[in-house]
Amino acid sequence: MADFNQILDAGDVDGGIINVVVEIPTGSSHKIEWNRDLAVFELDRVDPQIFAKPCNYGFIPQTLDEDGDELDALIITEQPLTTGVFLKAKVIGVMKFVDDGEVDDKIVVVPADDRNNGNAINTLEDLPKQLINQIEFHFNHYKDLKKAGTTVVESWNDTAEAKEVIKEAIKRWADK
């Protein structure tokens, strides 16, 4: 089986169109993660349904965040995407996030070619405020029932900041 991280790169970061692989569909309470050593998707755990993902969740190939995992992506679509689907995605911002004291940022993206919506989403400001609130609530509280660990959404930042986070993650991957 081929490894996504050997075939796909991060994409055109400067141009704002990156490659993203879906791990968890919107609405799922399954914590599915890419296991780069085995080159397969793995069910890590089942979270309480109340903490199902408010949007699709995935990663950017050939990147490493400060937590040692591929850089995460929050993929905004009207319908859930299937685990393992790859898409070209437009970078619209970054959610600065800390999980148990480790930086675990989330790049916010939409499909690059979303003709049905007129490609109307170009920045975080184009997203419904309620969706931003739901995502922030989810990430601030999804560990509450475990009574272990802390999570904090620190801020939401623009596309320029998101691109810098991606470039740093690409460098970390290259240096590993």
Q: From the annotation, which residues make up the binding site for Mg(2+)?
A: 67, 72, 104
Residue found by looking up tokens 């905004």 in the block:
76
Q: Please, where are the H alpha helices in the chain?
A: 4-7, 129-141, 159-175
Length of the chain: 176
Encoded tokens for 102: 């480790």
CA distance 171 to 63: 8
Strand partners for 94 = 107, 157
Annotation: binding site = 31, 45, 57, 67, 72, 104, 142
Query: What's the CA gap between 174 and 161, in Å, rounded?
Result: 20
Which residue is associated with the tokens 């850089």? 71
Which residues contribute to the annotated binding site for substrate?
A: 31, 45, 57, 142
